[in-house]
Each structure stands twice: as structure tokens, then as C-alpha cells.
């Protein structure tokens, strides 16, 4: 017999779920069809973002330079302290041997009790007090023991200082690693952005920068007589040395002779003139007399940029600066107005 049972109807909940899913699918398809494809940033937008990343990288680079300089100073100080401690220990051993010899000689002549040797090896202060109270020490021994006490105190202080500097060195090395990682991260981001440009766009940016650099060089070298003041002997010699490095690549942490970062170039240039200035741009900002008016700048003066002093160059005359700009660039001339001028520094 044929069954006349009515087919089972879908539940209200199932119908609702299916309807909602279908509606969502239709809406998604419509949105996908109508959505505009993500636009590729323009050449100028990429340049602006890359310049910002380079500036951030340079800030980190100068912090890296500061940590590196501190590390080198600490390593020298620790080495000196450790050498002093080693020599001091030898002196202390010699003094103790001398005291032992005197004590032995006294014992052989029926003098001081040999048990006082315990005090010599453990606590000279206590030994001196007790033995003096018993009137068992000669003036020669008192003087020798005082020398032992002084040497022990000196050694203890030097060991403490060395331990503190070793801890400081460990912290500095940690900071150095962080700053290096930060610099590399910023440069990596910049490179990714540059890789989005076509070969033609990259060539256009390079040509644009080359034109600007040539214009700055002409402006500096073709300066009208009297417009810019010549630098002092040291400043002039430093500037001449830096001119010889035009075209050298920027490399963070580098201070010549084949590659430079901003403060690496200025410190190297002044070193060629026989003048030692600090390694970082922040420290160079305090290395001489500040010149706040651009009209008073002389060729070879340091020029400090940005509020945190993270960039420095050499004044080239006629409103131009000779500097190592950033990663991906070379030592070149540039208009001071392209950056935020803070002040000059005359060494």
C-alpha cells in the first residue's frame, strides 16, 4: 500500500539559518564586486614615507653610536682597573711576605708569638689592634702592617669599581643590541617601500636627488665673495677633508675613511685637521660655541639639525651644508632649508 504521509517540513530555525547565510553570501559577493582595488602609493608618497623612516633610523643610529662609544670607554676602564688590581695583589703579597719574615725573625730571637700570622692572613685591622695592645709589634712592623691595610682597602675599592663597571658594560651591550635591531628594522621597512616602485620610478627619484645635489654644490662653490665667511684654520681644514669624501656611502655606525654616518663624517673630518671632537651629533652640539644665526655661520662650522640634535653636517657656505644624509645616500651638499636648523657650533 502506498504511503500518503506528508513530507517533513524544515524547522523554522533551519530556514532562518539558511536564509541568513544566503543573504550574507549575496552581500559579500556584491561588496567584493563593488570594492575598489587597493591603490598603490605614488612615487612621492613612497619617498615621503621612506624619508621619515630614514630619519627615525638615523635617530636610532646616533643612540647606537653613543652606546658603542660608552662600551669602548668602559672596556678600557675595566682593563685598566683589572691590571691595577693584579699589580696591587702582587704588591700585597710582597708586603705580607715581608711581615712574615719579620715575625719569623722575632720568633727566633724569642720575640713575637708565631700565632699572630693568623691575623696577617685574615684581618690586619684586628691584628694591629690586638698586637699593639700587647706591645708585641715593633715600629717597623706597625708601618709594614699599615701598608698592608691601605693596600687591602685600595684593592677592595678597585674590585668594587670594576664589578660596577662590568654590570654597566653588560647593560650597555644590551642597549647596543636593541638600537642595532631598531636601526635594521627601520631600514628594512624603507627598503620594502622602495621595492614597491618600478625601475622607472626609482630612476626618477635618483635623478631628482642628483639635480638637487648638483644645484646645492654649485650654490656653495659659486658663492659670491663676501656672502659667506671663511672658516678658521681648523674648520677650513676639516671642511676640505670632508669635501674629499663626497660620494662616499652612508653607513650607520661608520666613521671613515670609506663610509660614514652623519657624526662619523664630522668627527673624522675634524680629526684630519688635528682636532678631536665627540663621536655623536648630540655630544657635538655641546662641543664648542653655539651660533644661532645662519648669517653668522662660517665654512666648516658644525650645523646641528632637529630638536633632539640627531643630525649634523658641516657648513659649506651660501646656505648649504655638506653632510652624510641617511642610508641609501652618499656624502653630498644640501640646502640647510631642507632640514630643521637648530644652530651652528664653532670648534
Is 109 a member of any domain? yes
Range of the domain at 297: 212-346
pLDDT confidence of residue 185:
93
Residue 177 domain flag: yes
Q: Do 63 and 183 share a domain, yes or no? A: yes
Residue of 290, 271, 281, 291 lying closest to 325 (CA atoms): 281
Cα(140)–Cα(122) distance, rounded to whole angstroms? 20
Q: Does residue 312 belong to any structural domain of this protein? A: yes
Secondary structure (DSSP) of 225-250: TTTSBPP-HHHHHHHHHHHTTTTPBB
Query: What is the pTM (predicted TM-score) of this model?
Result: 0.67
Confirm whether 262 is a catalytic residue.
Answer: yes
Q: What CATH number is given to the structural domain containing 287?
A: 3.90.1720.10
Residues 186 and 218 in one domain: no
Asked if 235 and 298 touch (Cβ cutoff 8 Å), the reply is yes
Q: Tell me the pLDDT tens digit for each residue of 231-248.
A: 678 999 999 999 999 999
User: Is the domain of 185 the same as that of 223?
Assistant: no
Low-confidence ranges of the chain (pLDDT < 50): 1-5, 12-30, 32-37, 109, 113-121, 133-134, 224-226
SS3 329: coil
Of 4, 262, 310, 326, the catalytic one is 262
Alpha carbons 325 and 54: distance in angstroms, whole number: 9
From 4, 310, 311, 326, active-site residue: 311
pLDDT (0 to 100) of residue 94: 79
In the sheet with 289-291, reading across from the earlier edge strand, the strands are 289-291, 341-346, 302-305, 311-317, 320-323, 332-335
Specify whether 171 is located in the same domain as 236: no
Q: What is the pLDDT of residue 33?
A: 45
Site of grid cell 652612508: 250
Phi, psi of 215 (to 5 degrees): -65, -40
Amino acid at each position: 500500500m502506498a504511503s500518503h504521509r506528508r513530507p517533513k517540513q524544515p524547522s523554522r530555525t533551519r530556514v532562518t539559518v539558511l536564509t541568513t547565510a544566503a543573504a550574507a553570501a549575496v552581500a559579500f559577493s556584491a561588496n567584493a564586486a563593488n570594492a575598489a582595488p587597493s591603490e598603490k602609493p605614488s612615487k612621492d608618497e613612497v619617498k615621503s614615507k621612506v624619508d621619515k623612516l630614514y630619519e627615525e633610523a638615523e635617530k636610532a643610529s646616533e643612540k647606537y653610536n653613543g652606546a658603542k662609544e660608552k662600551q669602548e670607554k668602559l672596556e678600557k676602564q675595566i682593563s685598566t682597573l683589572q691590571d691595577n688590581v693584579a699589580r696591587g695583589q702582587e704588591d700585597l703579597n710582597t708586603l705580607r711576605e715581608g711581615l712574615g719574615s719579620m715575625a719569623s725573625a722575632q720568633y727566633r730571637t724569642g720575640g713575637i708569638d708565631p700565632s699572630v700570622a693568623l691575623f696577617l692572613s685574615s684581618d690586619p685591622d684586628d691584628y694591629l689592634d690586638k698586637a699593639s695592645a700587647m706591645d708585641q709589634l715593633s715600629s717597623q712592623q706597625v708601618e709594614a702592617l699599615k701598608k698592608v691595610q691601605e693596600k687591602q682597602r685600595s684593592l677592595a675599592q678597585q674590585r668594587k669599581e670594576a664589578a660596577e663597571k662590568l654590570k654597566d658594560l653588560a647593560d650597555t651591550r644590551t642597549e647596543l643590541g636593541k638600537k642595532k635591531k631598531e636601526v635594521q628594522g627601520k631600514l628594512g621597512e624603507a627598503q620594502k617601500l622602495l621595492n614597491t616602485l618600478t625601475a622607472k620610478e626609482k630612476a626618477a627619484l635618483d635623478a631628482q636627488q642628483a639635480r638637487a645635489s648638483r644645484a646645492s654644490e654649485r650654490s656653495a662653490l659659486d658663492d659670491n665673495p663676501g656672502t659667506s665667511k671663511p672658516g678658521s684654520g681648523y674648520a677650513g681644514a676639516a671642511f676640505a677633508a670632508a669635501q674629499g669624501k663626497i660620494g662616499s656611502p652612508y653607513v650607520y655606525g661608520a666613521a671613515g675613511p670609506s663610509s660614514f654616518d652623519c657624526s662619523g663624517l664630522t668627527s673624522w673630518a675634524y680629526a684630519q685637521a688635528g682636532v678631536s671632537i665627540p663621536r655623536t651629533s648630540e655630544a657635538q652640539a655641546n662641543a664648542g660655541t653655539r651660533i644661532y644665526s645662519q648669517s653668522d655661520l662660517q665654512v666648516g662650522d658644525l650645523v646641528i639639525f632637529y630638536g633632539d640634535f640627531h643630525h649634523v653636517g658641516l657648513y659649506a657656505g651660501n646656505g648649504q651644508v655638506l653632510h652624510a644624509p641617511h642610508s641609501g645616500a652618499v656624502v653630498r651638499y644640501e640646502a640647510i632649508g631642507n632640514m630643521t636648523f637648530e644652530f651652528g657650533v664653532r670648534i
